[in-house]
Amino acid sequence: MNVKYFGRRLMRVRKNRNLTQKELANEIDVSTKTVSRYEHGLAFPSKKQLYAISKLLNVDIDYLLMGSQN
């Protein structure tokens, strides 16, 4: 798994769901700066946050991590 590609997929899905970074941040209980760092490949979410992102965006964790869906 490449953190940079994770960030790109996260940004793509977030935008497709018409969510701002701030809205996503509020839902997963992190700062907007943290979401920006995820999307730019500078940080990676905890397991808890990754699950929350997956649930909120209605996307498989596998897709976010590896680009594939079950």
Domain, as residue range, for 10: 3-66
Global pTM reads: 0.91
pLDDT in tens, 39-70: 999 999 999 999 999 999 999 999 999 987 65
Looking at the 3D structure of the chain, how many domains does it have? Answer: 1
Which domain CATH number covers 33? 1.10.260.40
| Structural contact between residues 65 and 10, judged by C-beta atoms closer than 8 angstroms | no
- Between CA 54 and CA 40 the distance in angstroms is 18
